[in-house]
Amino acid sequence: MKSLTPYFAAAGTLIFIAVFADFLTPYDPYVQDLEGALTPPNSTNLLGTDRYGRDVLSRVIVGSQTTLCASLLLLATISTVGSVIGAICGYSGGRLDTFLMRLSDIFLAFPQMVFAIAAAGALGGGLLNAAAALAVIGWPKYARIARGLVLSIRSMTYFDAVKMSGSSSVQILFAHVFPNIAGPILVTAALDIGTIIMELAGLSFLGLGAMPPTAEWGAMMNNGRSMLQTAPWVILAPGTAIFITVATFNLLGDNLRDVLGGQR
């Protein structure tokens, strides 16, 4: 069996940096110094400064907090809400099932990012609104997976057996249904972290997510876009950070799937 330790260690380091970002920054990420604007990387500012003279390294570190925490929270919300909706649909069936599944069909029918841009735009930007827009398009996937898993559990003998033992629906859901679908849901969620980070950073890049002066990787890249030729470090630093983070979580998800044997 493959070892997951290096992937967990890498992801753990990123999360550690995000959580303790405030203590790890060499400079205050929000203090402007217009005299020292757009300094290339050197020994004092390891990744240079942006157009307001703010230390890019500090902003990338603090930005990880915004991006990673928002993404993980968002993911936890949609995977939980989606799975619960899906599990209830699969378990109860009938009209409720039909209604919720057609609703999820409607959301799945839109190109995800286009819908998110429209929704975030309509809601008026801001990190919270961007996350809400992504949540609206994110849950149906989990509802679908959970529903399918529950339907397959329902056809198992042990499902009849717990029913025959006189357990209540709530008991059956919590003791037998949720624990049995947790594995595949977890793997799907792990594979989704990268996508969510990209989508959230993407919305911020378009100006629909985090608002200035909040340090956020997507917004930082947008800031540095016009200076790509003259001061490439401003856009390269957050870009590389996104790349490393997304790659780390995707690798973690892939290997988690191999080990847990989830389905996709």
Residues that bind another protein (CB under 8 A): 93, 156-158, 160-169, 171, 175-176, 179-180
Tell me the sheet residues that pair with 55. Answer: 49
Crossing angle for the helix pair 127-154 and 94-109, nearest 10 degrees?
A: 130
User: Measured between alpha carbons, how far is 37 from 53 in angstroms, rounded to an integer?
Assistant: 4
Longest dimension (CA), the chain: 77
Q: Which is nearer to another protein, 98 or 171 (CB)?
A: 171
Q: What minimum distance in Å lies between the beta carbon of 176 and another protein?
A: 5
How does DSSP classify residue 173?
Answer: I
Q: What minimum distance in Å lies between the beta carbon of 62 and another protein?
A: 41
Q: Which is nearer to another protein, 25 or 180 (CB)?
A: 180
Tell me the sheet residues that pair with 49. Answer: 55
Q: Which is nearer to another protein, 10 or 182 (CB)?
A: 182
Question: Is 166 exposed, middle or buried, given 0-12, 13-18 or 19+ CB atoms closer than 10 A?
Answer: exposed
Q: What minimum distance in Å lies between the beta carbon of 104 and another protein?
A: 21
Q: What minimum distance in Å lies between the beta carbon of 149 and another protein?
A: 13
User: Measured between alpha carbons, how far is 134 from 200 in angstroms, rounded to an integer?
Assistant: 8
User: Measured between alpha carbons, how far is 33 from 30 in angstroms, rounded to an integer?
Assistant: 10
User: Measured between alpha carbons, how far is 160 from 164 in angstroms, rounded to an integer?
Assistant: 6
User: Measured between alpha carbons, how far is 240 from 53 in angstroms, rounded to an integer?
Assistant: 20
Q: Which is nearer to another protein, 1 or 170 (CB)?
A: 170
Q: Which is nearer to another protein, 13 or 171 (CB)?
A: 171
Tokens of residue 173, six digits: 């859901």
Q: What minimum distance in Å lies between the beta carbon of 165 and another protein?
A: 3
Q: Which is nearer to another protein, 84 or 162 (CB)?
A: 162
Q: Which is nearer to another protein, 105 or 160 (CB)?
A: 160
Q: What minimum distance in Å lies between the beta carbon of 170 and another protein?
A: 11
Q: Residues of 15-52 as b/e, b for ≥16 C-beta within 10 angstroms? A: bebbeebeebbebebeeeeeeeebbeeeeebebbbbeb
Q: What minimum distance in Å lies between the beta carbon of 161 and another protein?
A: 4
